[in-house]
Amino acid sequence: MSDTTTRRVTMFGNPMELAGTEIRVGEAAPDFTAVGTDLKPVRLSDITAKVVVLSSVPSLDTSVCDLETRRFNQEAQKLGDDVRIVTISMDLPFAQKRWCGSAGVANVITLSDHRDASFGLNYGVLLKDLRLLARCVFVAGPARRVDYVQLVHEVTHEPDYNAVLAAVDAARRE
């Protein structure tokens, strides 16, 4: 549950307020509806893998988001079918599809939150003034409880990949 304090991250050192409900470890992973590159709605409940990594990024067309999604694409190939990595941004599905094709990214599911900001609001990572998503990684295990949250406080920095992968390994053992 979210408290009443204002939550913030920074982008290039400038404070940015987060909108939505803060999700903490141990809470149920909220369902959301986003749009796939085929323009069809996708919900968390549609993803049947044992472990789901939800990686929110501001835009795939930025250098750090590009690096992060390419890295998670490499990791997804190694992790196997019981883990799905999903990258969510406000980019339009057309842009996501184009970016995935040019970057050779095929192991990560990309979803667009542009319609309703359903993910951003349900997970508390919507950058209120910019209507972009903050950089955050959630790991949900088989019971769809949130096992791990890594909110990157400076949006222009990459997440700690080793910590995310350790959380994925722990969730696989549930």
Residue of 65, 79, 100, 132 with catalytic role? 65
Active site residue 136: no
Ramachandran region of residue 61, left (φ > 0), alpha (ψ -120 to 50) or beta? alpha
The pLDDT, as a whole number, for residue 6 is 79
The structure tokens 């919900």 sit at 43
Distance CA 111, CA 86 (A): 7
Distance CA 66, CA 103 (A): 8
The pLDDT, as a whole number, for residue 174 is 83
| pLDDT tens series, the chain, 174 aa | 444 567 999 999 999 999 999 999 999 999 999 999 999 999 999 998 899 999 999 999 999 999 999 999 999 999 989 999 999 999 999 999 999 999 999 999 999 999 999 999 999 999 999 999 999 999 999 999 999 999 999 999 999 999 999 999 999 998
Note if the pTM is more than 0.75. Answer: yes
Q: Where are the alpha helices (DSSP H) in 15-159?
A: 63-79, 93-103, 118-122
The pLDDT, as a whole number, for residue 4 is 52
